[in-house]
Amino acid sequence: MIGFILKRLLYTIVVMFIASVAIFYALRVAPGDPVNAILNPTAMEQARAALRARLGLDLPIWEQYFVYVKHIFQGDTGESLLTGKTIPHVLATYGLRSLVLAGTALLIAYAIAIPLGVLAAVRRNSIWDQAAMFFANLGMGIPSFWLALLLILLFGATLHWLPIEGSGDLRHLILPASVLSVESLAVTMRLMRSSMLEQLGQDYVRTLRAKGVRGRRIIWVHVVRNALIPIISLTGLRIGWLIGYAVIVETVFRWPGLGYELVDSVIRRDYPVAQGLSLLLTLAVLSANFLANMAYAVVDPRLRKG
C-alpha cells in the first residue's frame, strides 16, 4: 500500500511537470497576448511594447518558463495579469465553485442511480428495469448543453422559477448541477445494475439464503455493498470527467467554475491564471483517481494488505 502511494505520488509529480511545460508553451505560442485584454484595442504600439516589457513577455519562452519556476520556488505563485488577484486566491475561488458543482452533481447522480440500479437488477426485466434502462440510454445520449437549454427554456423562460445563469445562492446551483448529473446518473445506473446482477449470482448469496437471512438484508447489506465496489472505482474517473466536462455546463449557465474560468483566462491570455487553473485541473483529476484507489481498499478488505 505504502509502495503504491509512493508510486502514485511520483507519477503525479511527473505528470504535473509535463503538464506545466506543455501548458506554459501552448499558451505562449498561441497568437495574441494579454496586452489586448489589458489595453484598449486602439492603443498605440508604444504603450503595448511598454506593457509587454513590464510583463516580461519580450523574453524567449524557455526563459519565461525558467523565471516562472524560479518564482514558484520562491513561493511567489504570481497574480492575474488582468485583475491582480493572487493565484492561490483565484484557484480557491473557482476550484471551490467547481467542487461544489461537481460534488452536488455526483450526489444527485448517486442518490438516484444506485437505488434505481438495485431496483432494476432485483426486479430484472420488470417494467421498472426497462424504464430505468430506457432513461439510462436517454441520459447517455442527450447532449448536456442541449438539455441545459431545454431546462432554461422551461424553468427560466417559461415558469420563471429558477435563475438561468450566474452563481450565488442555492437556486443558482439547481439547474447546472442537475444537468451535469444526468450523464453520470445514466452511466452509474447501468453499472450498478450489471454489478448487482453479477453479485446476485455469487455463491455467497446462496449461502446467505441457506442461513435463512431475510431477503431485504441479503440485498442491501451484502449484495449492494459488494456491487458498489466497481462504482467506487468509477467515481474517480467520474469526478475527473465532471470537473473537466463541466466546462460546457459551466459555460451554458455561466457558473464561474474552474473549467469556465480556464477557457476565459486562455481567451484573455491571462497566463498566470490559465497556468494555475490548468495545473489545478490536472491535479484534481489525478487525485480523484488516486482517492478512488484508496476508497477501493477501504471497502474491499482483500485489498487492504500488501
Give the Cα separation of 117 and 124 in Å (integer).
10
Calculate the alpha carbon distances from 191 to 83, 186, 198, 251, 298 in Å.
45, 9, 11, 29, 20
Residues 222-281 that bind another protein (CB under 8 A): 222, 225-226, 240, 243-245, 247-248, 251-252, 254, 256, 259, 261-264, 266-269, 274, 278, 281
What one-character-per-residue DSSP string does 29-74 give?
HSSS-THHHHS-TT--HHHHHHHHHHHTTTS-HHHHHHHHHHHHHT
- 89 is a contact residue toward another protein (CB under 8 A): no
Nearer to another protein, 73 or 168 (CB): 168
Write down the least CB distance from residue 32 to another protein, Å: 3
Examine residue 190 and tell whether it contacts another protein (CB under 8 A): yes
Q: Is 170 in the site for another protein (CB under 8 A)?
A: no
Contact flag: residue 146 with another protein (CB under 8 A) = yes
Q: Which of 100, 213, 294, 295 binds another protein (CB under 8 A)?
A: 213
Instruction: Please tell me the distance from the alpha carbon of residue 170 to that of residue 167, in angstroms, as a whole number.
Output: 8
Q: Is 26 in the site for another protein (CB under 8 A)?
A: yes
Indicate whether 152 belongs to the interface with another protein (CB under 8 A). yes
Per the CB < 8 A criterion, the answer to whether 78 and 87 are in contact is yes
What CA–CA distance (Å, rounded) separates 83 from 74? 22
For another protein, the closer of residues 41 and 73 by Cβ is: 41
- The CB-of-268 to another protein minimum distance in angstroms stands at 6
Residue type, 103: G
Per CB under 8 A, does 122 bind another protein?
no
Q: How long is the chain?
A: 306
- Min separation Cβ 281 and another protein, Å: 5
